[in-house]
Amino acid sequence: MAEVRDAEFLNLHDVEACARDVLDPATFAFLAGGAGDEVTLRRNRAAFERCRLVPRVLVDVGAATTATTVLGRPAAMPVVVAPMGIQRAVHPEGECATARAAAAGGTTLCLSNISTCAPADVAAAGGPWWQQLYSWRDHGLTRGVVEQAEACGAEAIVLTVDSGVVPRRERALRAGFAFPDTLEVPVCGGRTPADLHVQVDVTLSWSTFERIAGLTRLPLVLKGILSPADAALACEHGVAGIVVSNHGGRQLDGTPAPLEVLAAVVEAVAGRAEVLLDSGVRRGTDVLAALALGARAVMVGRPVIYALAAAGEAGVARVLELLRAEIEQGLTLLGCTSPDDVGQEHVLIGATW
């Protein structure tokens, strides 16, 4: 494994510059960019920056731990690696390297449906993993992904529901990005990412959800919910979890940051499912803000793929350890001994800002 020097990246912001140094500009633009004017992309960060954490003091935090559970499974910290496709476009070991780093860090990996490594190879890393799923026009393709995930030991199916179409992402277009036609997606029978792009099912509805739910006994998670009404419907349909997400600002530009709607979603869910959040998480303190507003855990996207590009498995391991250490330090300073201790009293948001 490549050595990752402290000076190269001290935090999850720095790793972006490391990736920019090693990637061709078009690939970097594809990873970093968002949809439209990238208003939502910026809003995701702005929301975390506006959030105020309120520490409690004179609490004995000598035994603080970042350990928790996510969907009932022990985790070293309240963080899951977000699903991101075509990782072999940035590193030859692709999703397998990410999976090994996640397993070593005690973190669940959510494997993209557009993974360029096979589920069996990812499972060989030995850590817990979830299979992210798109609903495909070809129902056989959707069923095949679920069957392989179950056969290879996935612990949940994460259906992404914010991607009925893939919008024009102008930063990537301007830089000349095209999906490499040398890469295949094994879980989709070796189709190329470009083939799959046009296979996304724009008719996805609650009846599609019922059909997909009927394919599996694994817990189902819906990723890409922002409306409390949809969160309530998801619970009525029996989901185990919800990921409050705007896809890292890559889908509908103009949406709120997940952090802005999190408390309302948590209220609508009313304990019926676990609520996760992603989009813009870069600091341990961001994770604490999400926990304070009721999230069970967060997903982290771009910093992981940047680290993979910059330093492979060691880079991803470094990102996860930096985040874990920041969460631990933040918990201590917030006056909490574990993620479960973090609550509404630790945060100011919205009208009180």
Q: Residue 169, annotated ligand binder?
A: yes
Task: Considering the complex, state which of residue 61 and residue 200 has its C-beta at the smaller distance from ligand FNR.
Answer: 200
Contact range with ligand FNR by CB under 6 A, out of 109-117, 170-178, 179-187, 289-297: 109-117
Choose the binding region for ligand FNR from 46-54, 112-120, 226-234, 314-322 (rule: CB under 6 A): 112-120
Residue 183 vs residues 30, 83, 102, 112, 144: alpha-carbon distances, Å: 16, 17, 23, 14, 19
Residues 253-282 that bind ligand FNR (CB under 6 A): 278-281
Please give the radius of gyration of the chain, using alpha carbons only, rounded to the nearest integer.
19
Q: Does 154 bind ligand FNR (CB under 6 A)?
A: no
Please report whether residue 31 would count as binding ligand FNR according to CB under 6 A.
yes
Compare residues 278 and 313 and give the one whose CB is closer to ligand FNR. 278
Q: How many residues appear in the chain?
A: 353
DSSP structure class, residue 225: E
What Cα–Cα distance (Å) separates residue 343 from each residue in 53, 200, 242, 289, 334?
A: 10, 38, 19, 9, 10
Q: Can you tell me the distance from the alpha carbon of 275 to that of 296, in angstroms, rounded to the nearest whole number?
A: 6
40 is in an annotated binding site: no
126 in a known ligand binding site? no
E strands in the chain: 52-53, 68-70, 73-75, 79-81, 108-111, 129-133, 157-160, 220-225, 241-244, 274-277, 297-300, 347-348
Q: Does 299 show up as a binding residue in the annotation? A: no
DSSP 130-150: EEEEPPBSSHHHHHHHHHHHH
Mask 37-66, x = binds ligand FNR (CB under 6 A)? Answer: -------x----------------------
Binding mask 300-319 for ligand FNR (x = CB under 6 A): xxx--x--------------
Q: Is 302 labelled a binding residue?
A: yes
Query: Cβ closer to ligand FNR: 66 or 113?
Result: 113
**Parallel, antiparallel, or unpaired for β 129-133 and 347-348?**
unpaired
Whether 247 sits among the annotated catalytic residues: the reply is: yes
The interface with ligand FNR within residues 218-257 (CB under 6 A) comprises 223, 245, 247-248, 250
Q: How far is CA 17 from the centre of its chain?
A: 20
Binding annotation for FMN: 83-85, 112, 160, 223, 245, 278-282, 301-302
Q: Which residues are tagged catalytic?
A: 247
Q: Which residues bind ligand FNR (CB under 6 A)?
A: 31, 44, 82-85, 112-114, 132, 160, 223, 245, 247-248, 250, 278-281, 300-302, 305
